[in-house]
Structure 1
């Protein structure tokens, strides 16, 4: 596995990985209507445009195995870990850990005091294991469907 900086040419593969991951990995914790609201397939084209811009502005890393993107994560310059997704066939292989290690190293370089994220039910145990603390449970609405996630924060030791 290689961890590399995001390039614009990665966008289509990243967006596809996002849809696949949400609709497979997160299906154990969310209903089909929740998954469809979170990752509506009819928005894939518009998501490619908006994500290309935001991923390019954020600190974004991709994990590749045999030149195939198997995970990605990004961090805003003010310390919000926005996205962390690992391909369904590569779960439990240390990819999320490697990606978040890179983002946390970047946060130290930026002298950030903390990283916050909004973790799904599925991702919450991963973040807890890494020392992120739950601030609160949240309900967010997407396309009229309510989804539960968790506002979490980790203090960064400089």
Structure 2
């Protein structure tokens, strides 16, 4: 799965493995810190990042979800996961690689996987930060939600995209 964008000619897409987890977790927390700060306050960012502490959940993601990584050189610059064939669980792009088409590359491959599995729609619970990207790819907000992470209330959005094969 070699893909490239005009801004990133050397991005490759590959499946994630357990050995990728430390770098994925680092990308997850650094991206939330930097990219999420325009939409969430410090308490909310700390609560969101605490998800990295749940090693069992991340091992479950690697074992049971379809996980794709965007790699530049030997560095993971983004990742996306598809759970149960139709739920986008995670989509993160490294803070230093935003707005270069990486999220779209990952998303497109995930959508293709869902279509190959004869899925009729994709769903996701999306942060305020990611909502514009998901809307650009054809998702619609079903409802605004308040989720609690470690007792801290955060707003996100249940979104859906109906797929056409």
- Structure 2: stretches of 5+ with no match in the other structure: 1-10
Cα drift, residue 144 of structure 1:
0.9
Superposition RMSD in Å: 1.1
Q: Write out the 4+ residue segments of structure 1 that deviate beyond 6 Å after TM superposition.
A: none
Match of 1:94 among 80, 85, 101: 101
Match of 1:121 among 119, 122, 128: 128
Alignment of 1:50-129 (within 5 A): 50-129=57-136
Cα drift, residue 47 of structure 1:
2.6
What TM-score, normalized to structure 1?
0.94
- Structure 1: stretches of 5+ with no match in the other structure: none
Q: Provide the C-alpha distance between the structure 2 equivalents of 1:6 and 1:47, rounded to a whole number of angstroms.
A: 18
Asked if the contact 1:134/1:152 (under 8 Å) is kept, the reply is yes
Aligned pairs, how many? 155
Alignment of 1:26-41 (within 5 A): 26-40=36-50
Q: Deviations over 1:74-133 (max 9, x none)?
A: 001241100000000000000000000000000001000000001100100000011000
Cα drift, residue 67 of structure 1:
1.1
Q: Deviations over 1:17-50 (max 9, x none)?
A: 100111110011000000011112xx64x43343
What TM-score, normalized to structure 2?
0.90
